[in-house]
Amino acid sequence: MFSYFSDNEVLIQQTLVYVLLAISLQVVLRCGVVSLASIGFYTLGSYASAIAVKDGWPPVVILPLVALASGLLGYGFGKPLAKLRGLYLAMATLAFDLVIPVLLINGGDLTGGALGIYAIPLAITTSSLFVIVVLVILAVSQIERGWMGRASLALRSDENLARSMGVRVTRERYLAFAISAALGGLAGALSAMLFRAVSPGSGGFALITLGLTMAIVGGRDSWIGAVIGAYLVTWVPEWLRFVGSYRALVFGLVLVVVIMFFPDGLLGAARRLFARSRRKVAPASRSEREAVPV
Amino acid sequence: MIQVIADSLSLGSVYVLFALGLSLSWSVLNLLNLAYGAQFMLGAYFAYVVGNHVDLPLLFVLPAVMIIVAATSVVADNLVFRRLRTTAGTPVESELSMLVASIGLAAVAVTLVQHETQGESKFVPKSVFQVKTLNLGDTLHLTNMQLIMMVVTVLLTIALVVVVKWTRFGRAMRGVAVDPATCELLGVNSNRLFSTTIAISGALAGLAGVLLAIHLNYVDSTMGDPLLTKAFAIIIIGGVGSILGAAVGGYLLAFAEVLIVAYGPANYRDAIAFVVILAVLLLRPSGLFARQRWERA
């Protein structure tokens, strides 16, 4: 058991960091806002934490600081971006994600240019990482179940209706932006502390594809989907060693198939399967439900 | 200075060629096609394959490649995008799922070509086209390929404007972009129209791929990615669906890039496109030249 953990420690750490990243994307996707900004905050957060750790700051200070700063920045970005809808928002946040590596390459000594920052002292253990992720999941699951979670679901299906039911649409959007940015930044900060190197190439297009895959394949309606997505993205490549260089092709196909046939992800598919099997046992319950006058 | 203008005209032609098809599929199908860079790359790759198997000049290779790439995009539309258009609950849902699906399709195409080329960069054989440098006066140097690209871009832009503005097909296309359901009632076969649009968009991607592969003398599985972001900037400048806007946007971006390489901090060349996207979206979200407001705000 212990040897399993030590053999696979890097993969476990990777999964935990990816869970945070996937949740950060889900938070915005769930209210029907296609924002990819948290990927950019991931990259920014990883650089900020790399620089701070090398400067000798303790992680206890860095992590909350990075999360808070990203959240505030995200809230600030939310203001002008809230005007944009759908693909335009996707476009603007994509541009934000992709301009950051360019700026980092040109950042001189502070960012280490094209090489990035390496030999960062190891600043965090797997167990404290685990605690952080569990805390985040607890917070997010409370939000999901509470007023804000229901409000964002309403926002996704019909914005005007949500507004008429008393959902403060703009405020919910800002909040989702801020939470998403904070989680993205936090995930980035943790990744720099764990993997001890950051480079401008680690952000950008590849990370966007990876993040979206995690958020969508697992199921974007719940944090459980993020855990499933992060787990699959980290471990499937290990299982798929035999397909060798065709791995990205398998990923692409899986993404297409899931989005076509299981738009609410593997979690949604499992839930539907479970609901159907329960209905078979007690078919009366369904007709009872339908008989209730609306 | 003349060389700067000539360079930006030829670079801008590449950008415009690339952006036109992307803009078309965005405006008609609401599809932010992140696989467009892969389609462009397929154009370049098929030019390399076809050119190595048959001994034919560009005039024959080019249409063949355009048809192949158009066919692949029609297959993708029929198999994937059509279902996502019709089954998604809300427009936002269908936009997101098409965007995600296009990422997946791009990964498939790029991996296949990467595997076929063993990750090496290839080039379109000289039997297809021989690039020559023409010296026009003392200070101006252009290749024959650059001239071809400029001419093709201008002709295509005009042709597309004419088709979209004045033909029955163009009217149906603009109509479907706004309200597919009503167009169906009026007798427009919207699925066929979507397929045709995506075929045209694919053919344009293939065309741009072949010409640019010959111009740069290189074919590579990831050659589409940097252009994709530039094309987004161009579409944002010109306004989605505006063909003339895309043309102006393409040349403006190219001019800015050539200027910064010639006189400014050349490293920031690739940042221009992103800064442009953010600035235009935040300050004037309907694009610099849009007359009517699109549904963005």
Q: Do A177 and A28 meet the contact criterion of CB atoms below 8 Å apart?
A: yes
What was the pLDDT predicted at A288? 43
- Using the structure block, give the residue that is written with the tokens 């509470």: A146
Average pLDDT over residues A144-163: 78
Q: A58 in contact with B at a CB cutoff of 8 Å?
A: no
Chain A and chain B share a number of CB contacts under 8 A equal to 138
**Which pLDDT score, from 0 to 100, does residue B63 have?**
92
Contact B101/A255, CB-based, under 8 Å? Answer: yes
CB within 8 Å: A260 and B83: yes
Of A71-80, A85-94, A194-203, give the range with the top mean pLDDT. Answer: A71-80
pLDDT tens digit sequence for B138-187: 777 788 888 899 999 999 999 998 988 888 888 888 888 778 788 888 88
Tens of pLDDT, residues B63-75: 999 999 999 999 9
Which residue is closest to A106 within chain B, CA to CA? B267
Per-residue pLDDT at A262 exceeds 90: no
Determine what percent of chain A is predicted with pLDDT higher than 90.
22
Give the mean model confidence (pLDDT) for residues A230-256. 81
Average pLDDT over chain B reads: 85
The answer for B 71-90 residues in CB contact with A (under 8 A) is 80, 83-84, 87-90
Q: Which two tokens stand for residue A225?
A: 């989907």
Cβ contacts (< 8 Å) between A92 and chain B: which residues? 277-278, 281-282
d(CA A180, CA A236): 26
Q: What is the DSSP string of A121-144?
A: PP---HHHHHHHHHHHHHHHHHHH
> Is the model's pLDDT at B294 over the cut of 70?
no
B10 or A280: whose pLDDT is higher?
B10
Scanning chain B, the segments in alpha helix (DSSP H) are 2-29, 36-53, 58-76, 82-87, 91-116, 144-166, 168-178, 180-185, 190-216, 225-238, 243-263, 269-283
Residues B271-295 as b or e (16 or more Cβ within 10 Å = b): bbbbebbbebbeeebbbbebeeebe
Predicted local confidence at residue A291, as pLDDT: 45
From A101's Cα to the closest Cα of chain B, the distance in A is 9
In Å, what is the CA distance from A26 to each residue of A8, A30, A59, B55, B206? Answer: 27, 6, 26, 52, 35
- Beta pairing partners, B122: B219
Task: Express each pLDDT in A2-49 by its tens digit.
Answer: 677 777 888 889 899 999 999 999 888 888 788 889 999 999 999 999
Q: Tell whether the model's pLDDT for residue B88 goes beyond 80.
A: no
B104 and A253 in contact by Cβ < 8 A? Answer: yes
A34, A106, A259 ranked by CB distance to B267: nearest = A106
Helices (H), A120-222: 126-145, 147-157, 159-164, 169-195, 204-218
Give percent above pLDDT 70 in chain B: 95
Our CA angle for A105, A60, A108, nearest 5°, is 15
Q: Which of residues 110-139 of B touch A (CB under 8 A)?
A: 110-112, 114-115
Work out the average pLDDT over A75-89: 79
CB-nearest partner of A96 from B105, B268, B278: B278
Measured CA to CA, the distance from residue A137 to residue A131 in angstroms comes to 10
What is the pLDDT confidence band of residue A115, given thresholds at 50, 70 and 90?
confident
Q: Residue A294: is its pLDDT beyond 60? A: no
Task: For residue A87, give the nearest of B89, B95, B282 by CB distance.
Answer: B95
Name the pLDDT band for A138 (thresholds 50, 70, 90).
Answer: very high
Q: How far apart are CA B266 and CA B258, in angstroms?
A: 9
Mutate to test the interface with B, among A26, A83, A89, A102 (most CBs of B within 10 A): A102
Instruction: Indicate if the pLDDT at residue B189 is higher than 90.
Output: no
Predicted pLDDT of residue A1 = 55
| Percent of the residues in chain B that have a pLDDT greater than 90, as a whole number | 22
Q: What is the pLDDT of residue B153?
A: 92
0.90 surpassed by pTM: no
Q: Which of B101, B104, B285 sits opposite A84 (nearest CB)?
A: B285
Contact B103 A253 (CB under 8 A): no
Judged against a pLDDT cut of 70, whether residue B289 lies above it is answered with no
A240 has a chain B CB within 8 A of its CB: no
Residue B291 scores a pLDDT above 80: no
The pLDDT value recorded for residue A290 is 45
- The Cα–Cα gap between B14 and B209 comes to 9
Q: Is the pLDDT of residue B117 over 60?
A: yes
Band of pLDDT at residue B287, cut at 50, 70 and 90: low
pLDDT at A280 (0 to 100)? 62
Of the partner residues B96, B229, B297, the one whose CB lies closest to the CB of residue A83: B297
Judged against a pLDDT cut of 50, whether residue B293 lies above it is answered with no
The answer to whether B281 contacts chain A (CB < 8 Å) is: yes
Greater pLDDT, A286 or A83: A83
Mutation target to probe the B interface, by most B beta carbons within 10 A, among A94, A217, A220, A258 is A94
Q: Do A260 and B106 touch (CB under 8 A)?
A: no
Predicted confidence band at A185 (pLDDT cuts at 50, 70, 90)?
Answer: very high
Residue A146 — φ and ψ, nearest 5°?
-85, -165
Q: Which two tokens stand for residue A73?
A: 């920045």
Task: Give the residue with greater pLDDT, B250 vs A246.
Answer: B250
Average pLDDT over residues B81-99: 81
| Token pair 């965090």: residue | A124
Cα torsion through A93, B254, B99, A228, rounded to 10: -50
Residue contact A86–B91, C-beta within 8 A:
yes
Closest CA–CA distance from residue B83 to any residue of chain A (Å): 7
Of A91, A205, A263, the CB nearest to B232: A91
C-beta of residue A75 within 8 angstroms of C-beta of residue A171? no
Is pLDDT at A182 greater than 60 in this prediction? yes
Q: Which of A34, A99, A205 sits opposite B271 (nearest CB)?
A: A99
The phi, psi pair for A85, rounded to 5°, reads -120, 155
pLDDT band at residue A293 using 50, 70 and 90 as cut-offs: very low
Lowest mean pLDDT among A71-80, A233-242, A253-262: A233-242
